[in-house]
Amino acid sequence: GCVLVVSVIEQLAQWHNSTVKAAMERLCDYIPGKYQIMRCVPCCIDREMNADVVCHSLRLCKQDPGQPLCHLYSPPKLHHLCELMHPSTFIFLPLQKSFMGFSSVCAFPLLANLCEKIKYVLRNKLPFEDFDGDKFSTFPTLRGYHWRGRDCNDKNTTVYPGRRPDNWDAKSDSNCNGIWGVDPKDGIPYEEKFCKGADSKGVVLLGDSAGAHFHIPPEWMTVTQMSAKSFANLPMAFSDELDWPQFSEITGFLNSTIGGWTDSLYLRLRKRNRCNHRDLQNISQNGMRGRLIQEIRSGLARNQLLDNPAIVIYATIGNDVCNGERDTLAHMTTPKEMLSNVVQALRYLDSHLPNGSHVILTGLVDGRFLWDNLHDRYHPLGQLNKDVTYSQLYSFLDCLQVSPCSGWLTPNETLRNLTSERALQLSNVLKEIARSEKFTNFDIFYMDFPLRQTAEEWRKMGGEPWQLIEPVDGFHPSQIAAALGTGITWQKALHEWPQVLGKENPFNDQIEAIFKDQGGY
């Protein structure tokens, strides 16, 4: 955190040809009021001192005995480093106090309430604002309707997206799809006329940070693009855990504001059958591994007797082989553990999903794609001075033992290959589960993560492979990758598992004509 903020301050000073103090004031002015956890203070940062030197000098970064000195930038000469790191070089106590606050943001009174809310949703995977306790909300963030269909009556626990209509919704909209009332021409409820026998079904994602669609806006740290507008989405981003499920590959439903475009399995199901409106749930979490049973128990909202069937996508595409440990191979999920974890979760789903549901197991990604396409490119922090590549970023994070994936984000080709080998073993476990296991209330399918096909499709469109990766973390699929992946998954399902997608509703146009003003998100 210190290295990031000091880097941005130094680059702002350089770009605007200003003092460091003026740059700090500028950054504070950009950030929305209550998120200004580090208010500008007098300080001295010599132009010769990079962010690593400053942060080590402030004693916010440390070098453990026997461990390497972690640095993002090329280190200065040793004697110069020692000279710069001497306490007499700095007026640093106020700045250090500010940064200590930065490292414990929940201590700030204005942010304490938000922190408590975020802790609640992280624990429970449920909306913070949910007055009737049906696991659906009218509030967008804090696991609200950005993550699952928007509730249309948050004072009635029997009204929520995905349920079968109550008395064909003749008097009110019990399933929040915007279709209710009676046709005055013949007295038949619209829901019965348009949705009966339409094979309505929702979509549920059980995933990790890729499924939640983790994204840090590059304009937050690219000073040449930085303005107050750059940080306008910061409150929403924090309240959504730096995830953007509303634009994601499986449950996205809003037009993307983070580049690319939005295409999702949910949107395509809705277009195929307008009765599916709002029937979506994204039960994903940053850092989630194959052991999802607790998240499913607390987060899944599906009544086996009252609700429509669901398409459940089980996609933990990397975290079972990804960790920041020095002995990363020893901390990867084993095939035996994967088998046990997934089968346990599937048995729970079988006891809770309505009959006629479907489960799709998604294989792990081959993450060698990351190093191959990014390692020698400049990170957003390094674009101004051409001084930080993704290789340097990966090494810095690995040194700090906070790498999102030590096995793939490394110059060690042998380790990258071993990580991909384990990922393939775990994918084969999923493939075998789909082949051999049988369940009462759903059928089960397997598909490889479509990275290769996505890259090929993007090349045909004139794109470069590196554009399929999130620019700030250099790890997650980008918005473009998410949208392209949707099309590939959809085509596979159409050709190989048409029963999963259900029938096309012949009344879609009529529904839109009558209820166009009642289908808002």
What are the Cα distances from residue 111, in Å, to 3, 118, 131?
Answer: 22, 11, 23
Whole-angstrom CA distances from 456 to 249, 377, 463, 491 are 18, 20, 9, 15
Per-residue pLDDT of the chain (521 residues; tens, 9 = 90+): 889 999 999 999 999 999 988 999 999 999 987 666 555 444 556 556 789 988 888 777 777 788 888 999 987 654 444 444 444 444 343 444 444 444 456 766 666 777 787 788 777 889 999 999 999 999 999 999 999 999 999 999 999 999 999 999 999 999 999 999 999 999 999 999 999 999 999 999 999 999 999 999 999 999 999 999 999 999 999 999 999 999 999 999 999 999 999 999 999 999 999 999 999 999 999 887 766 788 899 899 999 999 999 999 999 999 999 999 999 999 999 999 999 999 999 999 999 999 999 999 999 999 999 999 999 999 999 999 999 999 999 999 999 999 999 999 999 999 999 999 999 999 999 999 999 999 999 999 999 999 999 999 999 999 999 999 999 999 999 999 999 999 999 999 999 999 999 999 999 999 999 997 665 66
Directed axis angle between helix 93-102 and helix 2-15, to 10°? 120
Contact between 455 and 468 (Cβ < 8 Å):
yes
Check: CB of residue 144 under 8 Å from CB of residue 128: yes
Q: What does the block give as tokens for 91?
A: 């007026």
d(CA 46, CA 10): 9
Q: What are the beta bridge partners of residue 289?
A: none
Task: Name the DSSP class of 249.
Answer: T
Integer-rounded Cα Rg, in Å, for the chain is: 25
Both tokens assigned to 271: 């277009």
CA 134 to chain centre: 24
Q: What is the pLDDT of residue 366?
A: 98
pLDDT given at position 87: 46
Query: 259 — alpha (psi -120 to 50), left (phi > 0) or beta?
Result: left
Eight-class DSSP state of 442: E
For the record, the structure tokens of 221 come out as 């740290």
Instruction: Count CA atoms closer than 13 A to 358's CA, side-chain side.
Output: 17
Whole-number pLDDT of residue 35: 64
Tokens found for residue 83: 């000279």
Q: Please list the alpha-helical segments (H only) found in 160-241.
A: 190-195, 209-212, 234-239
Exposure of 104 by Cβ count < 10 A (0-12 exposed, 13-18 middle, 19+ buried)?
exposed
**Superfamily of domain 200-515 in the CATH hierarchy:** SGNH hydrolase (3.40.50.1110)
Compute the distance between CA of residue 87 and CA of residue 83 in angstroms, rounded to an integer: 9
Query: CB–CB of 279/161 below 8 Å?
Result: yes
- What is the identity of the amino acid at 339? L
Active site residue 209: yes
Q: How many CA atoms lie within 13 A of 95 on its CB side?
A: 21
Element (H, E) at 121: helix 109-124
Query: Residue ranges per domain, the chain?
Result: 1-74, 200-515
Distances (CA, A) of 285 to 193, 212, 289, 292, 406: 39, 6, 9, 10, 20
345: Cα separation from own chain's centroid: 21
Q: CB-based contacts of 124: which residues, under 8 Å, 6+ apart?
A: 298, 299
207 phi/psi in degrees, rounded to 5: -150, -170
pLDDT at 279: 98
Which of the residues 57, 200, 209, 406 is marked catalytic? 209
On the CB side of 150, CA atoms within 13 Å amount to 17
The string over 218-250, giving b where at least 16 C-beta atoms fall within 10 Å of a residue's C-beta and e elsewhere, is bbbbbbeebeeebbebbeebbbbbbbbbbbbbb
Amino acid at 24: M
Q: Exposed (0-12), middle (13-18) or buried (19+): which is 304, by Cβ within 10 Å?
A: middle
CA distance 219 to 208: 24
